[in-house]
Chains A and B, each alone.
Chain A
Amino acid sequence: MAKTALQFQHNGRDVAIFVDGGTNLLVALRELIGDMTPKFGCGQGGCGTCSVLIDGELHLSCLTLAEMVAGRSVETLDGIKDGPNLHPLQRAFADNFAAQCGYCTPGMLMAAKALLDRNPQPSRAEVVEAISGNICRCTGYEPIINAVLAAASGGRARA
């Protein structure tokens, strides 16, 4: 089958790749662009570790056809830090011991970023809701919830 030319923005940078029909965004990001931050967990939208932002909206890259992001902006965990400085969410995850094995962490961070971008001062319930599509085996979620609340507006979250 013929490959399709695909252009989109990847973490603010224009990229152009050739994809086979049916290639999903996760494979395109990892294998064609070399951005290994979105992880392959289940490949069917059940775990959340492949989460990315498309035009600022949270999406599961394993369930998104690569061709659907033509002309759009894709943000992954690789793009959220500012040069050598960690994003406040990354800092808060480290400070709150919100990662153990780390496999869920990219998806958790992107889900949390999607939340804070539209709601800078979320309640605890809103944080729980925002990460409820992501599963974690190690942390028991509590440190992750605390980290997101700590990062929200520099820690001034509503109760």
Chain B
Amino acid sequence: MTRHRGRGIASVNYPIGMNLGGDPSQALVHSNPSGKFTVALSSIDLGQGMKSVTRQICAETLGVPVEDVYVDTADSDTGPHCMGSFASRGTHRVGNAVMAAAREARGVMMEAAAEELEVNAADLETDGRGNIHVKGAPHRSISTKDVAIAAQFKQGKTISGRGIFLVPLSDVDPETGEMSPATCYAHACLVAEVEVDDETGEVDMVRMDSAYELGRALNPRLVEQQLVGGAWMGVSHALYETPEPYYPEPVHGPRDFVEYLMPGPGDICPHDIAVLERPAPDGPFGAKGPGEMCANPVLPAVANAIFNAVGVRIDDLPITPEKVLRAIKAQGGARPQPRR
């Protein structure tokens, strides 16, 4: 029995969101009489951090502290329409919608403040700490709370804004078949190192090194947590999990978590990640988003690493010990490839 080390690389060019039907998302922003703001969405946060990121985007656009913004989401009965949380579109699509809504709300807020301070709204700026003052004259100031109270009880204004983000539908060129399926692409490259046991066919992850280019990272810790966790979903798809192990034969499908294999805490390996920030021209504050791309490059990189280790090409997933062993037997033994 020998354990063979192998290294594989994969790069991906990942479209953010989709083109079908314009892929719209809406957001509504309004202030409460307390001067705090509510963002209404129906976009679902499954734990990726979309509530945090849209809260940051709204606060930054309004010019108020992040603590003054509350994101109310996950109810499609009461929130404005959203296509959904998929295709890595949350930060980009929903973020853009929130930005547009916050911009409109900011306009009303500045008008209301201008009326209170008896100045022109164009001469006002926010300090990001909950105050609005005349440019160059910070003492001529009013708090957003007082503006909200004046708008609500005196001026009869709703400090609110509507936002939608819609990608122009790209038609297919009838001559060439060309179209533009997305407006914004993220990129990643991942190197996986594995160890393959030529007696059992088992594949162990040794380490991963990756670089992700995902526009501006609006919340670097959330980006990191998605990249770390998402890579293991990729490993899981590459090596462990499937509802149909003998597809298209439906036999021996897993029935529960005992039979549906996923990596456990003992299966993980070190993963070094570099995040490269190249702001997207049409992203909110330049953001694209990590999303599904966290998992995507892992699968081909692992398949390539297995080829590098024992010389077998497995092209259907997951790459189970059985498939590795059968392939090694078919070629008459492991054939380690040169390591570069």
Contacts and interface: CB of A to CB of B under 8 A. Distances in A.
Interface string A122-159: 00000111011011011111111100000000000000
Contacts of A134: 265
A132 to B, nearest CB: 5
B152 interface: no
Given A46-B256, A139-B229, A101 B266 contact: no
A135 B262 contact: yes
Interface in A30-51: 41-42, 44, 46-47
A140 B228 contact: yes
Nearest to A146: B228
B119 to A, nearest CB: 43
Given A128-B265, A145-B265, A42 B257 contact: yes
Contact of A137 (B221, B225, B226, B233): B233
B266 A128 contact: yes
Given A42-B256, A100-B225, A143-B225, A135 B264 contact: yes
Given A44-B256, A44-B258, A46-B257, A141 B265 contact: yes
Nearest to A105: B47
Nearest to B226: A100
Nearest to B48: A100
A99 interface: yes
Contact of B47 (A42, A100, A142): A100
Contacts of A135: 257, 262, 264
B231 interface: yes
A18 interface: no
Interface in B224-271: 224-226, 228-233, 256-258, 262-266, 268, 271
Contact of B268 (A44, A97, A141): A141
Contact of B265 (A41, A137, A138, A144): A144
B47 A102 contact: yes
A42 B266 CA distance: 21
A97 B262 contact: no
A99 to B, nearest CB: 7
B222 interface: yes
Contacts of A144: 265
Nearest to A47: B257
Interface in B1-57: 46-49
Contacts of A138: 47, 229
Contacts of A145: 265
Contacts of A46: 256-258
Interface in B36-84: 46-49
Contact of A143 (B48, B228, B258, B266): B228
Nearest to A131: B265
A110 to B, nearest CB: 15
Contacts of B271: 140, 142
A53 to B, nearest CB: 20
A39 to B, nearest CB: 13
A145 B266 CA distance: 10
Contacts of A131: 265
Interface string A66-102: 0000000000000000000000000000000101111
A140 B268 contact: yes
A79 B198 CA distance: 49
Contacts of B264: 132, 135, 141
A52 B125 CA distance: 53
A138 B263 CA distance: 11
Contacts of B225: 97, 100, 139, 143
Nearest to A108: B265
Nearest to A135: B262
Interface in B76-95: none
A142 B262 contact: no
The 3 closest A-B pairs by CB, nearest first: A100-B47, A140-B232, A101-B47
21 contacts: A41-B257, A42-B256, A42-B258, A46-B256, A46-B257, A46-B258, A97-B221, A97-B225, A100-B48, A102-B47, A129-B266, A135-B264, A137-B233, A138-B229, A139-B229, A140-B228, A141-B232, A142-B228, A142-B271, A144-B265, A145-B265
Given A42-B257, A42-B258, A132-B266, 17 more contacts: A41-B257, A97-B224, A97-B225, A99-B47, A100-B47, A100-B48, A100-B49, A127-B265, A129-B266, A131-B265, A132-B264, A134-B265, A137-B233, A138-B229, A139-B229, A140-B268, A142-B228
